[in-house]
Structure 1
Amino acid sequence: MARSHLTLAALATSAVAELDVVGAAPFGSAGRGDFDSAVVTGRDGRLWIVRVPRSERAEQEQSADLVALRALSQGARARLPFEVTVFAGQAPIDGTRAIVSEFVHGTSVTLTAIDLELATSIGEAIAAVHALPTSLVTDVGLPATGTDEAHRAAQSLIERAAATNLVPAALLDRWRQAGDDAGLWQFTPAVINGSLGADSFLASAGQVTGLLGWHGLRVGDPARDLHWVLGIRRDGIADAVFDAYTRVRGSVDRRIRQRATLLAEFEVARWLLHGTDTRSTEIVDDAVRMMSRLVDDVLGDATDSIAPPTLPILAVDEVEALLDRAERVS
């Protein structure tokens, strides 16, 4: 049974010394989702959010979130163009715990709500996270994955999916070519959030104001934080995110979009493997349909290429002009 906002407000007063609650309201859908949540107002006008996990998985996620938030020092937070919540206190309840943290203002972002302005802000926000020093993650013992590990993990996933004999040949060839392309995996590991999606962001007036869910914080492949963007099919949105990201980060990873494309396609492979592991015919059939649509999409869209970039093909008159300029220079 869902805990009421009044119960959560009482827990907040137990968790945070000297917190004088003068108001409380439910946050999110009561009785749904992974957490019971409420926003409480202190006498000083400050807002706090109290959350109690509803499952073991949510409890593990919350614990990882706390470790990550503690790793984000004041110096690191100052480098980010958005707010990161601050842990305030905790109180035990029914074998788990209520966590109280500072409330970050903004409206939860959905895929359909992302316009060009917000897409630009999202790209800048992700780039700022990736520019943080890796030592803030490694010094507290959070996971760090290198290029070789990422490459091997991708190849392993491809072969596991292939073993189901359900992946279309054209898609399997595409994935294997990417797995064999050593250049695709030559990237510099960076600090990544590790679990980004549209609903990770809070925004106001077209700008990112906050970023939720830090439980996946680690050093790893930057493309992992960007692959979800490619699910936005409206013209220019994904381009705006990647363009803004590149402006902030520079050309440190020339093939990040190609790798992000591959990681986005791997989500279908993971769904297929989840279906086979759980012996769910419904999930397997859904994954097969998704792969069929994916084949139609990627084979008909050159912008989704994950092959090595090639130089543009010049027309005859362009070749002649190029040779003429070279001769004059010499």
Structure 2
Amino acid sequence: MLRRPLVLAALADTAVPGLLPTQVQPMSARPGSPYQRVRVTGQDQRHWTVQSALTEAAGSALDQTQSLVRLLNGRLTVGLPHIAGMATGPEGTTVAVYPELPGAPLAFDELTPRSALARALGVTLANLHDLEPGVYEEAGVPSYDAEGYRARRLAELDLGAATGHVPAGLLARWERALEDVALWHFPTVPTHGSVDEDDVYVDGDDVVALDGWHVAAVSDPAIDFATLFLGATPDAVDTVIESYAQARRERPDTQFERRVRLAAELRLMTDLREASTAGDEAMVHRCAKALQRLEAQTQDDTSLTPPPPGPRSKPGAAVVDPEDIEVVDENPTTDDEDTLDLPVAHLHDDELDAADEPPAEESLIEDDLDDEELGDDELGDEESLVTDEEHPGTDEMPERGADEARPRRDTSSEQDPTS
């Protein structure tokens, strides 16, 4: 359950003594994310990100993430989310507070082919993947070899099939790819695990920060390109991958781009699983429709696993070239759409979840800190934390009782395929 931004601001004040919030604003997050985030402005006008775990597993991951970030500090040239304080609400909600990262989130659909920014993104991912795996192992994050990672993906496929919404054709397509041994001979590397648009912060032509390390693992480097593949144009993706390959100490394996595509397709199934676990029936319906269209579009596609040597295909047999696939938006209210190729990217649009779009600024008074009102209301607009006439001359948040201002909601995480 999502909490009112004001509640999270109050918890931030507990986590970081002296923060003294004066404003709070919701931040976007992809549907199914195991975290809720808000932007808090302190009395000294410093900006903070408050990240609230929506599941118990996500809360546990915050401590592990901070251990990893400490070890990555100095090894990567980009900014990282260094936690300044943590607090726990009465329902067990874990909240982490860290200074706002520099730059602004990158919109993948605005990434220009052959641009300096696209090349910078490739170099940033190459630097991450060139780290020694021992750094991750020291932080206690998961570490897989190629076979272990393949087994994990197979387990995820079983969980996706158990929802009853994944078409049989796609299950067979993905199972063939996961059982094609040629795809799974590669060295695993330290990965971010889920490079979404709101994780990459840019300033001009530079990547200046990376957020969202909760599913980091030593695993397949292709996983960090999945959302990029879905959200950016093919030419922009090519530029990023070209720059990445040139910057790596060792060139990517020959099957790397096939696994990028596989990871992109499986991302939709991951969204389906998370929506199903969270009980979000609207999102389950959207994911199911998108999977049905993807199955229709890939019936004759051999981009994941080429056919074995043999007679040529019959004249007229359709083969879909990955370069021809277009990502288009899915309209959840339209049932007669005929085409939607790899719609995962636009399943993360802000319009899908009211909590994703920061509303207009609004002033709140001290009475809004009542717990029962905060728990029942929907996400509020940007909120200004002020006192009434009983507190003249101060911007501090009003006094709170010991039981006030404590949050939560539930979603699934990608961290463990069996969870």
TM-score computed with the length of structure 1 as normaliser: 0.73
Q: Relative to total residues, which structure has the larger helix share, 1 or 2?
A: 1
Q: Quick one: which amino acid aligns to residue 73 of structure 1?
A: R
Identity %: 24
Show the counterpart of 1:314: none
Alignment counterpart, residue 62 of structure 2, candidates 61, 65, 69: 65
Secondary structure at the aligned position of 2:293 is classed as helix
Question: How much has 1:154 moved relative to structure 2?
Answer: 4.5
**Structure 1 residue 294 and structure 2 residue 293: aligned?**
no
**Structure 1 residue 93 and structure 2 residue 97: aligned?**
no
Q: Deviations over 1:27-61 (max 9, x none)?
A: 4269x984252322363x643223344x3x2x532
Contact 2:21 2:42 in 1 (8 A): yes
Secondary structure at the aligned position of 2:207 is classed as strand
Could you say if the C-alpha distance between residues 288 and 111 of structure 1 is closer, same or farther in structure 2, counting changes exceeding 3 Å?
same
Show the counterpart of 1:247: 246
Distance 2:15 2:154 in 1: 46
Contact 1:142 1:218 in 2 (8 A): yes
- Is the deviation greater in 158-167 or in 126-135? 158-167
Q: Quick one: which amino acid aligns to residue 203 of structure 1?
A: V
Distance 1:68 1:12 in 2: 18
Question: How much has 1:215 moved relative to structure 2?
Answer: 0.6
Q: What does 1:25-36 correspond to in 2, within 5 Å?
A: 25-28=24-27, 34-35=35-36
Alignment counterpart, residue 103 of structure 1, candidates 97, 100, 105: 100
Distance 2:62 2:298 in 1: 34
- Is the deviation greater in 125-134 or in 290-299? 290-299
Secondary structure at the aligned position of 2:84 is classed as strand
Q: Quick one: which amino acid aligns to residue 289 of structure 1?
A: R
Contact 2:47 2:100 in 1 (8 A): yes
Show the counterpart of 2:260: 260
Secondary structure at the aligned position of 1:73 is classed as helix
Q: Deviations over 1:139-162 (max 9, x none)?
A: 232211111122334456668889
Contact 2:189 2:221 in 1 (8 A): yes
Show the counterpart of 1:200: 199
Contact 2:79 2:210 in 1 (8 A): yes
Contact 1:120 1:244 in 2 (8 A): yes
Show the counterpart of 1:84: 80
Secondary structure at the aligned position of 2:79 is classed as coil
Question: How much has 1:63 moved relative to structure 2?
Answer: 3.3
**Structure 1 residue 3 and structure 2 residue 4: aligned?**
yes
Question: How much has 1:179 moved relative to structure 2?
Answer: 3.5
Contact 2:26 2:39 in 1 (8 A): yes
- Is the deviation greater in 125-134 or in 145-154? 145-154
Bigger relative contact order, structure 1 or 2, given CA contacts below 8 A and separation 6+? 2
Secondary structure at the aligned position of 1:168 is classed as helix
Contact 2:9 2:21 in 1 (8 A): no
- Is the deviation greater in 220-229 or in 144-153? 144-153
Secondary structure at the aligned position of 2:66 is classed as helix
Could you say if the C-alpha distance between residues 281 and 103 of structure 1 is closer, same or farther in structure 2, counting changes exceeding 3 Å?
closer
Structure 2 unmatched runs, 5+:
304-318, 325-419
Could you say if the C-alpha distance between residues 61 and 148 of structure 1 is closer, same or farther in structure 2, counting changes exceeding 3 Å?
same
Question: How much has 1:236 moved relative to structure 2?
Answer: 1.1
Distance 2:276 2:25 in 1: 39
Secondary structure at the aligned position of 1:72 is classed as helix
Distance 1:27 1:153 in 2: 34
Q: What does 1:67-216 correspond to in 2, within 5 Å?
A: 67-73=64-70, 76-95=72-91, 96-116=93-113, 117=115, 118-154=117-153, 166-168=167-169, 172=172, 175=174, 177-216=176-215
Q: Quick one: which amino acid aligns to residue 227 of structure 2?
A: W
Secondary structure at the aligned position of 1:203 is classed as strand
Question: How much has 1:190 moved relative to structure 2?
Answer: 0.9
Q: Deviations over 1:177-225 (max 9, x none)?
A: 5344323211111111112222221222132221111110111111111
Distance 1:113 1:236 in 2: 12
Distance 2:134 2:227 in 1: 26
Matched pairs, number: 294
Structure 1 unmatched runs, 5+:
305-330
Could you say if the C-alpha distance between residues 265 and 10 of structure 1 is closer, same or farther in structure 2, counting changes exceeding 3 Å?
closer
